[in-house]
Amino acid sequence: MSPYQRLFLMVGSDLRHTPALERAAALAHATGAALHICAFIDEIDTLGLMSGDDHRLDSLMQDNRQWLADEATLLHENGIRVSTEVILARDVLQAALTQVAEIAPDLLIKDVQHEPLLKRLVVAPLDWQLLRECPCPVHLVSDVHCPLPRIVIAAVDPTHPEHPHDDLNENVIDAAADLARQCNAELHLLHVCDSAHTHMADFGAGTVTMPGFASNVRKSIHKAFKQMAARHGVPVERQHFLSAPVTRSIAEFIAHSRADVLVMGNHPRKLLERLTGSTTEHVLEQRLCNVLAIRGAARDSLSLGATSR
């Protein structure tokens, strides 16, 4: 049985065919999953319309319903089970989470929304909030080389195999393997070490920082990484162990490998990381990176999740 039975696609009110819609349709077609498409209209963006008497808000809602109906017709013709809905929301995040609770999707899919730095300092982007609050896996799509993924990368952290959060490594690999299997894609394994701090974050067991980068430590981590890859049957040519600043090296690797999806672990945030953002969240800022975030358990302490920048 496919791990994907219900897919939930979030779209905006701009009435356009987006990479996330293309990816959601391809996944639904390949897996036989039912697809629910919900267009969210933020009340803040409609204040000018709501204050008028010309029924422009009603027209906006109807335009969205008609656009979704047209898209649904095309999807039905391709054998996809699809339902649609338009929601006017004062709080889009809470409205989306309510939908997730009601339909219990196996995957939430959404286009990445790139926000200016100044705006991110004032309010956390909706994408970041979804990563922190959504109980189901979240697939944020920036660009698609092809509708179905052909290369799926599982980003892992083998530094503390005995750590209770190491289960997230297994969840990340399992999710990546499931996606690759459904799409007939290649599964790769990736680990990135910051050569300055031996710092790893968000790829599984948590974060560890050491004053220097001793070769014996690197060898130990590399050995654990290779053992993890062997357990999951990932061949050597699809194992990638990098030493560089984390976010930059991930972006460069994605661009070089033309990977379609990067599967990453995502922990609920404590205060410090809510303010600074996590590695997963900063990877989203890279224009060509499509992320599938797998939620982990909450961290027990602030220091465990602290991130070097």
- Model pLDDT, residue 47: 64
Tokens of 36: 């629910």
CATH T-level topology, domain 151-305:
Rossmann fold (3.40.50)
- Model pLDDT, residue 113: 86
Rounded to an integer, the average pLDDT of 228-240 is 96
- Model pLDDT, residue 153: 96
Q: Is the pLDDT of residue 237 over 90?
A: yes
Rounded to an integer, the average pLDDT of 46-50 is 61
Coil, strand or helix: which one is 148?
Answer: coil
Tokens of 42: 């933020």
The superfamily (CATH) of domain 6-141 is HUPs (3.40.50.620)
Q: Is the pLDDT of residue 283 over 90?
A: no
Q: Which residue has the higher pLDDT, 229 or 296?
A: 229
Q: Is the pLDDT of residue 267 over 70?
A: no
| Spatial strand order in the sheet of 6-11 | 82-89, 34-42, 6-11, 107-111, 138-141, 291-295, 261-266, 151-155, 186-193, 239-243
Give, as one character, the DSSP assignment of residue 202.
S
Every domain range in the chain assigned CATH 3.40.50.620: 6-141, 151-305
Rounded to an integer, the average pLDDT of 23-32 is 98
How do 138-141 and 6-11 pair as beta strands?
unpaired
Q: Is the pLDDT of residue 307 over 60?
A: no
Query: Cα torsion at 210, 213, 217, 220 (round to 10°)?
Result: 120
Kindly report which listed range (2-11, 162-171, 229-238) carries the lowest average pLDDT score. Answer: 162-171
Are 158 and 225 in contact, with CB atoms under 8 Å apart? yes
Say what percent of the chain tops pLDDT 90.
Answer: 52
Are 262 and 283 in contact, with CB atoms under 8 Å apart? yes
The length of the chain in residues reads 309
Say what percent of the chain tops pLDDT 70.
Answer: 74
- Model pLDDT, residue 167: 85
Tell me what the pLDDT averaged over the chain comes to.
81
Kindly report which listed range (86-90, 124-128, 141-145, 265-269) carries the lowest average pLDDT score. Answer: 265-269
Q: Which residues of 34-69 are buried (b: 16+ CB within 10 A; e: fewer)?
A: bbbbbbbbbeeebeebeeeeeeebeebbeebeebbe
Give, as one character, the DSSP assignment of residue 46.
G
Cite the DSSP H helix spans in the chain.
19-31, 47-50, 56-77, 92-103, 117-122, 126-133, 167-183, 215-231, 246-257, 271-276, 279-283, 302-305
Are 257 and 151 in contact, with CB atoms under 8 Å apart? yes
Are 78 and 35 in contact, with CB atoms under 8 Å apart? no
Q: Is the pLDDT of residue 163 over 50?
A: yes
Nearest Cα residue to 138 out of 297, 292, 6, 25: 292
Q: Is the pLDDT of residue 276 over 60?
A: no
- Model pLDDT, residue 287: 61
